[in-house]
A and B are shown apart, each in its own frame.
Chain A
Amino acid sequence: MSALTLIGGVLVGAGILLILLAAIGIVRFPDVLTRASAATKAAGLGVVLVLAGVAFLFGTLEAAVKLSLAVVLQFLTAPVSGHVIARAAYRSGSPLWEGTHTDELAVYERRAGRHTPGTTAGRRPR
């Protein structure tokens, strides 16, 4: 077993572990925003680790170039979906977890004339 295979295997394993943790996080976390945080984590470092590991396993320049491109695109696009899902959830009034202690966005949404039924506006900081 060469060093490349070893590094590649470790990276892929770490990536899979992170994605598994994120999946558990999505089930366990209490509201949409915290779940979205867990999900973007998987799409971020987890997938990037798997791609980097595959690059090491192939061990060719061609694979490295293609997979680096995939990593860059992943970093550019993954946060966008997380942001849009979270914003849609917030605007449609999905309830926030009762542990959420500050919500300064409620002020902005109200000023923008949007109704924010699910927010904890007025809740005092702990």
Chain B
Amino acid sequence: MSLFPRVRTRVRTWVRTWVRTRDRTSARTWVRTSVRRWLRRIPATVVLLAVVVRDLVAANLKVATEIVTPGFQMHPGIVRVPTRTRTPMEATILANLITMTPGTLTLEVDPETYDLYVHSLYLDDVEEFRAHIARTEDRLLEVMR
């Protein structure tokens, strides 16, 4: 996937919206509303980053204790996680976030449905695990859409 056509489409949409609305609204109002739309994403971005960092540190400690304590307490497994991501960019970022969290590893992405296949070291409750990823996904999509 090339990034350029998508940027081009987006710029074209901006220009068209501006051309369509410039009689009714001044260019200044238009710029102000689009800037405001970007500003509105900032709180959600901060929340997403904070939650990701918290998960990262917590999971790091968990895996670290697993490494230094004798024997294995882990019970790994691979599960299919259905997602609501609909573009390659969204799916890539979500898969990267999952892999960054220690103990979870994205193994495969279904190119048609964007289902993720995730390997986890601590797979106690499959539904709980899916719900956890769904929460991260909700936060991510709130930022990106």
Distance, CA A108 to CA B106, complexed state (A): 14
Question: Which one of B7-15, B36-44, B73-81, B135-143 contacts A?
Answer: B73-81
- Report the count of interface residues on A (CB-CB < 8 A): 41
- Report the count of interface residues on B (CB-CB < 8 A): 35
Distance, CA A78 to CA B100, complexed state (A): 8
Q: Which residue of chain B has its CB nearest to the CB of A87?
A: B107
Query: What is the CB-to-nearest-CB distance from A59 to chain B, in angstroms, rounded to a whole number?
Result: 23
Verify A38–B67 contact, CB threshold 8 A: yes
Residues of A within 8 A of B (CB): 18, 21-22, 24-25, 28-30, 33-34, 36-38, 40-41, 44-45, 75-76, 78-80, 82-83, 86-87, 90, 96-97, 99-106, 108-109, 125-126
Verify A101–B108 contact, CB threshold 8 A: no
Q: Which residues of B contact A126 (CB under 8 A)?
A: 75
Query: What is the CB-to-nearest-CB distance from A118 to chain B, in angstroms, rounded to a whole number?
Result: 12
Contact residue among A41, A76, A102 (Cβ-Cβ distance under 8 Å from B63): A41
Verify A101–B105 contact, CB threshold 8 A: no
Q: Is the interface of A mostly helix, strand, loop or mixed?
A: helix
Interface string of B96-117 (1 = CB under 8 A from A): 1111101111111010000001
Verify B108–A40 contact, CB threshold 8 A: no
Name B18-77 residues within 8 Å CB distance of A: 56-57, 60, 63-64, 66-68, 72, 74-77
What are some 13 contacts across the A-B interface (CB < 8 A)?
A: A18-B60, A21-B68, A33-B76, A33-B107, A40-B102, A40-B105, A75-B96, A76-B96, A80-B96, A80-B99, A96-B76, A103-B77, A104-B78
Q: Is B95 an interface residue (CB 8 A)?
A: yes
